[in-house]
Amino acid sequence: MKFPVDFKEKYINLLGDDAPAFFEGLQTEAIKAFRVNPLKENYKNIEYPLDSPVPYVSTGYYGSVSGKSLEHQTGYVYSQEPSAMYVAEVGDIQPNEVILDLCAAPGGKSTQIATKLDNKGLLVTNEINRKRAGILAENIERIGAKNVVILNESPQKIAQKITNYFDKIFVDAPCSGEGMFRKDPDAMKYWHKDYPAECATRQREILTEAMKMLKPGGELIYSTCTFAPEEDEQIIEWLLKNYELELVPIKKYDGMDSGFPAFADNNPEMEKTVRLFPHHFKGEGHFIARLKDKRESVNSGVKIEKRNKKKKEKLVFRNLNKEETKLWIDFENATFSHQLFDIGDLSCWGDKLFYYPSSWPNIQNLKFIKPGFQVGVFKKRRFEPAYGLALAIKSTDTQKIIDVTQDEWENYVSGNIISLTERKSKNGWYALRCNGHIFGFSKLVNGTLKNFFPKGLRFNR
């Protein structure tokens, strides 16, 4: 691997005796890993070996997984390199917290945060780039979390609507990506001498907005995948100077380094942050800091606009009409063994049915990909369940399940129907399951399971 001359010079200066080992580390093979998903039933029932756990992430394992596997497609596994997995761990997520992941696609941290929330509290996950936000939405849908709102906005726009609100904010910042050179050598193409300083300017802009949204006493988790001091310790130094924040020490496991005080005016506090160097640690390059807001209260108070179901014309959502209410309740009764949602927590956006409790913030005028959890869609006097609903239920939620073989699953995800020649079931909606993994809803009509696998997700194995 040929590094830019300025990059080499910079790190020879910064790392001194450790520089040769640093460059050598960047030439070795990237480490692969994945996480399992406790939101799923029997979540360790997967074909991948779980004999090599990542020591600091209870759901993490070394090894690679295929994006076309049943396990990935049903959200049982998520491929993520081991350093990136430490960020959400550092955030120490507790169920019921209200969390913002401001720079979220493709969703490595958000999927981990959502599984830790365990469907309690709320995750607002945001990605500014429309295409990447779509990928984020697909990954969130697979993991089966019901308490996630997916926005596609600039941090500025969100901060205009929601202030002093979130318990925790993750800023996994767009950065110069030096820590990814080994995994993705193409990342080097964008690098030039001034690139880290340019990225730092953008990082300060994003953080300025993030700080407006953090509630007093809340926590900011800042991370990058770069080694550049301008984007790491010096950003933290800037935060400490400009806001009432204090660093919370991060536990260091084998091979993890502390941040370098020398990179930020010799501030000894930097020891509380963590640096992950590929030549010291089994993972890619990363930097993580955890900061706590010291304010007890704020003068302006919390600003979130609660939704007002009566002001129909101004809202994203509207109430269900009588027919829609009946269609949903009939479907729920026919399909599930218990009530899945409180009817008061359901709203319509156009013809789509969403779970969106009234305690969640009003996202009117913000661009979104998914304004809450999509339950299904109303179509000419009938209700059709959403693909994501199947991924969010367990076998104990329904007796209407049909088990299919691996071959039938492969056939189905490529867009085909399944013919049930030997199995006798009544016509209607069923959850489909393969090897214990529920993978979608289908309508059985006279022995044929119609294909409801989303067209945009279809693939051949």
Give the CA distances from residue 303 to residues 205, 230, 299, 323, 445, in Å, rounded to whole numbers and listed in that order: 21, 33, 11, 35, 50
Q: Is 104 annotated among the ligand-binding residues? A: yes
Which of helix, strand or coil describes residue 229?
A: coil
Q: Is 268 annotated among the ligand-binding residues? A: no
d(CA 262, CA 278): 20
Biggest CA-to-CA distance, the chain:
74
240 Cβ contact list (under 8 Å, min separation 6): 246, 247, 267, 269, 291
H/E segment holding residue 139: helix 130-143
Q: How many residues bind ligand SAM (CB under 6 A)?
A: 17
Q: Cβ closer to ligand SAM: 104 or 150?
A: 104
Interface pick for ligand SAM out of 89, 127, 178, 384 (rule CB under 6 A):
127
Q: Minimum distance from CB of 58 to ligand SAM (Å)?
A: 18
Q: Cβ closer to ligand SAM: 174 or 357?
A: 174
Q: Cβ closer to ligand SAM: 220 or 404?
A: 220
Interface pick for ligand SAM out of 10, 40, 72, 109 (rule CB under 6 A):
109
DSSP conformation letters of 356-379: --TTSBP-TTS-EEESSEEEEEEE
Examine residue 106 and say whether the peptide bond preceding it is cis (omega within 30 degrees of 0): yes
Q: Cβ closer to ligand SAM: 105 or 148?
A: 105
The Cβ-side half-sphere exposure at 245, using a 13 Å CA radius, reads 29
- Please report where in the chains the tokens 């993520």 appear, as a residue: 80
CB 293 within 8 A of CB 214: yes
Task: Tell me the catalytic residues.
Answer: 225
Angle at alpha carbon of residue 35, lines to 30 and 37, rounded to 5°: 165
CB 232 within 8 A of CB 263: yes
Under the binding rule (CB under 6 A), the answer on residue 174 touching ligand SAM is yes
The Cβ of residue 221 has, within 10 Å, a number of other Cβ atoms equal to 25
Under the binding rule (CB under 6 A), the answer on residue 155 touching ligand SAM is yes
Under the binding rule (CB under 6 A), the answer on residue 141 touching ligand SAM is no
d(CA 291, CA 169): 10
Interface stretch with ligand SAM, choices 34-42, 102-110, 267-275, 391-399 (CB under 6 A): 102-110
Q: Minimum distance from CB of 84 to ligand SAM (Å)?
A: 6
Q: Minimum distance from CB of 417 to ligand SAM (Å)?
A: 35
Which of helix, strand or coil describes residue 181?
A: coil
DSSP bridge partners of 34: 61, 79
Residue least distant from ligand SAM (Cβ): 108
Under the binding rule (CB under 6 A), the answer on residue 107 touching ligand SAM is yes
Interface pick for ligand SAM out of 39, 128, 276, 449 (rule CB under 6 A):
128
Under the binding rule (CB under 6 A), the answer on residue 106 touching ligand SAM is yes
Interface stretch with ligand SAM, choices 28-36, 100-108, 284-292, 361-369 (CB under 6 A): 100-108
H/E segment holding residue 218: strand 214-224
Q: Is 109 annotated among the ligand-binding residues? A: yes
Interface pick for ligand SAM out of 120, 202, 241, 326 (rule CB under 6 A):
202
Binders of ligand SAM in range 205-244 (CB under 6 A): 206
Under the binding rule (CB under 6 A), the answer on residue 132 touching ligand SAM is yes
Q: Cβ closer to ligand SAM: 159 or 431?
A: 159
Annotated binding site for S-adenosyl-L-methionine: 103-109, 127, 172
Annotated binding site: 103-109, 127, 172
User: Which chain residues interact with ligand SAM by CB under 6 A?
Assistant: 84, 103-109, 127-129, 132, 155, 172, 174, 202, 206
